[in-house]
A and B are shown apart, each in its own frame.
Chain A
Amino acid sequence: MAAELGPRAMFVAGGTDLFPKLKRRQFEVDSLIGLDFLPRAIRNGSDECVIDAGVTLAHASHDPHLNERFSGYAEAAGHVSSPPLRNAGTIGGNLCVDTRCNYYDMTYEWRKAAGFCLKKDGDICLVAPSSPRCWAVSSSDTAPMAIALGGVVTLVGASGERELPVTALYRDDGDRYMAKQPDEVVTGLRLRRSPNTRSAYVKLRRRGSIDFPIAGAAVAVELDGDRVESCRIVLSAVASYPLEAKAAEEFLKGRRLQEDVIREAAEIASRPAKPLDNADLSHFWRKRMVRVVVEQALARASDQQPGLDG
């Protein structure tokens, strides 16, 4: 159906991202294809968990199994937007949530007054006018955590079904940010862990009750005794896709999660993050805070102290 209707049709799950954007005319569509038919179950195995794309964020954040075994993921789902929005918003919609930018997330009239930009109706980027691309920010809370937990999504489209690691779902482009085909629906997310995996998500935002992240750190650490066997650190809201801090992951391998090591790893993790002046609060401060959220997430994963937004 989506393939037949073409670019003037969009999928809608909970509508909590799409409907405000339709009202601001950030998208103009002829048809909406409701995804209410998607299943809404969480299937738990001991080391694996499959979450249907139609599961609401509220359901995922309260699920006892997820809280016990994939606590970082349940935490990230519980930190998206606000309680009534989480009762409608889905985990599939959160993986596909649009990238954000102060110049783009305005009503049509405001955008017209400020001058349209590349992402919608215009031909330059207002944040980086000399750049040929859009730098809108990936703002999903659960996507970085899904990547840290080795997540794989199932996609179903006109040309059949396939699986894709969550890392490969995104492109480094604020405008065309999804790497999947437009007619492909995310139907489920599979997360994996070993018995020694610990995970945590720490999010920074202006109002703890509702706002999008302005920096976030998703970490999943696999311990061998008291040493890190492997680890994944993925940052939210600092690039056009969930940014993996590979150098910090390498640095942590074989080390103990103690205070000085965590501090150094967080410093290394924050280096590749280059927030631009297109989200809430100053981008200099956001850059400085990346180190802090990574430090808190690692400390949380090693069970030492609670995080910023908890």
Chain B
Amino acid sequence: MYANAVFTLSNKDVNQLHREALRDVERVVLTLDVNGEARQLLVPSHKTLLEVLREDMQLTGTKHGCELGECGTCTVLIDGKPQLSCLLLPIQLQGRAITTIEGMANGSDLHPLQVAFAELGAAQCGYCTPGILLAARSLLEENPRPARDEIREALAGNLCRCTGYTKILQAVELAADRLR
């Protein structure tokens, strides 16, 4: 997590293991509940959930943006509520249900929000989309008939640099209609 201790290589990489051993990085064994599956991992204790998901679990649907809590593209659900994986330490998340975008579809059946986003073209480059889909799913689970302002508020922490916000709002409304 510190600027001088960012490991971007896969943890299978010998060089990385070697460097971490030299740096005396503290590692921990953790059991995380990710998308309903209990996963046991050996990870450096300073790694963020975003880094562990992408680098140690190969769940690269969760995107890596500002790393500072400002953009929302790293959003995951913790016990059903959106939180930012770039500011979470896995060591604090044992026993909590973690949902990533990979856990959104049911097998090959896309979630109605995913279908609506695809149909309406609510994703342009798609970088913000995983975070927005998860935040929208959490909203619809709590409030199946959100007003447009409520959707805006629920997605306020998720920036879209392609700025196609209108389609995103319409797609959430369409999915809400279909889910009722």
Residues on A lying within 8 angstroms of B by beta carbon are 15-16, 19-20, 22-25, 28, 32, 34, 36, 58, 81-85, 87-88, 107-108, 208-210
Q: A19-B87, A34-B92 are in contact. Are A83 and B154 (CB under 8 A)?
A: yes
Say yes or no for B70: interface residue by CB 8 A criterion: yes
- Complex Cα distance A67/B171, Å? 31
What is the bound-complex CA distance between A83 and B81, given in angstroms?
Answer: 10
Q: Interface digits, B67-85 against A, CB 8 Å rule (1 contact, 0 not)? A: 1111010010010011110
Residues of B within 8 A of A82 (CB): 72, 156-157
Tell me if B2 and A58 are in contact (CB < 8 A): no
User: Does A87 lie within 8 Å of B3, measured CB to CB?
Assistant: no
**Residues of chain B with a CB closer than 8 A to A83's CB:** 82, 135, 153-157
CB pair A87 B1 closer than 8 Å: no
Contacts of A36 in B (CB 8 A): 92
Contact in complex: A85, B84 (CB < 8 Å): yes
| Known contacts A16-B69, A20-B68, A20-B87: A84-B3 contact under CB 8 Å | no
B69 surroundings in chain A (CB, below 8 A)? 16, 19-20, 81, 85
With A15-B87, A83-B135 in contact, do A23 and B68 touch (Cβ < 8 Å)?
A: yes
Q: Tell me which residues across on chain A come within 8 A of B81, comparing CB atoms.
A: 58, 87
**Count of B residues near A, CB < 8 Å?**
29
Interface of B toward A, CB cutoff 8 Å? 1-4, 48, 67-70, 72, 75, 78, 81-84, 86-89, 91-92, 135, 153-158
25 A-B residue pairings within 8 Å (CB atoms): A15-B88, A15-B89, A16-B69, A16-B87, A19-B86, A20-B68, A20-B87, A22-B2, A23-B1, A23-B2, A23-B3, A81-B69, A82-B72, A83-B82, A83-B135, A83-B156, A84-B75, A85-B69, A85-B157, A87-B78, A88-B84, A209-B157, A210-B70, A210-B156, A210-B157
Per the bound structure, the CA–CA distance linking A81 and B83 in Å amounts to 12
Residues of chain B contacted by A87 (CB below 8 angstroms): 78, 81-83
CA–CA, A9 and B92, complex, Å: 17
Q: How far apart are B40's CB and chain A's nearest CB, in angstroms?
A: 21
A210 to B81, CA, bound (A): 18
Instruction: Find chain A residues with CB under 8 A from B84 CB.
Output: 16, 84-85, 88
Q: Is the CB of B135 within 8 A of A84?
A: yes
Task: Give Cα A107–Cα B3 distance, bound, in whole angstroms.
Answer: 9
A22 vs B86: C-alpha distance when bound (angstroms): 12
> Whole-angstrom distance from the CB of B160 to the nearest CB of chain A?
12
Q: In the complex, what residues of A have CB within 8 A of residue B156's CB?
A: 82-83, 208-210
Nearest CB to that of B79 among chain A residues? Answer: A87
A214 to B3: give the CA distance in the assembly, Å. Answer: 28
Measured between alpha carbons, how far is A28 from B3 in the docked complex, in Å? 11
